[in-house]
Amino acid sequence: MKVLLTAFDPFGGEPVNPAQEAVAAVADNIAGAEIVKVVVPTVFGKSIETVYEAMKRENPDVTFCIGQAGGRVGLTPERVAINLDDARIEDNEGNQPFDRTIFEDGETAYFTSLPVKAMVAKIKEAGLPASVSYTAGTFVCNHLMYGVLYHISKEFPDMKGGFMHVPYLHEQVLNRANTPSLSKDDIVRGIEAAITAIVENA
């Protein structure tokens, strides 16, 4: 099995992105699956293009995207992506779409094909907080998840895909009172546990 594992670069004025930091440290082989990593620009349009090109190039069995959700307590596999861009802040190239459809010929929403409940259970077995999320937001994270599932539905019928949000790193919350965070090592363990669940439930 091959897993395409993606992570966004820093955005919103943050010096780091926990997704990028953790994915870089994830093992290259997990439960027998080969892990191929790609860093994705936090930019509407370009994020989907970057991962779509990697999907065509690598032809993975699974495309698994990771992003930051500051303020969340644990790791949260996403259940659904919606066909809507509605940005509260600008992306890394100054784009801030409002009430925009991602793909005109796409479904209203796509559900992940990853075993999100098994992923949550495996992350909890590793001693880390996790829960299934039913909203990926309307920023670039949802945009990318929707784009991946759109392309899977159109071109890659045997591929599975999905997205997981991770919390802030400890160093990101030094000046944020009462804001949850995890260490990079814990986020790495959580991602690896999630991938193990994906492999075991293939």
Q: From first to last of the 202 residues of the chain, give the pLDDT tens digit.
A: 999 999 999 999 999 999 999 999 999 999 999 999 999 999 999 999 999 999 999 999 999 999 999 999 999 999 999 999 999 999 999 999 999 999 999 999 999 999 999 999 999 999 999 999 999 999 999 999 999 999 999 999 999 999 999 999 999 999 999 999 999 999 999 999 999 999 999 8
Q: What's the whole-model pTM score?
A: 0.97
Q: What is the CATH number of the domain that holds 115?
A: 3.40.630.20
Q: How many domains does the chain have?
A: 1
Q: Are 55 and 4 in contact (CB under 8 A)?
A: yes
Give catalytic status of residue 151 as yes or no: no
From the candidates 65, 78, 143, 192, give the one annotated as an active-site residue. Answer: 78
Structural element, H or E, at residue 62: strand 62-68
State the Cα angle at 169 between 33 and 144, rounded to 5°: 55
Residue 45: domain span: 2-200
Catalytic one of 65, 141, 143, 192: 141
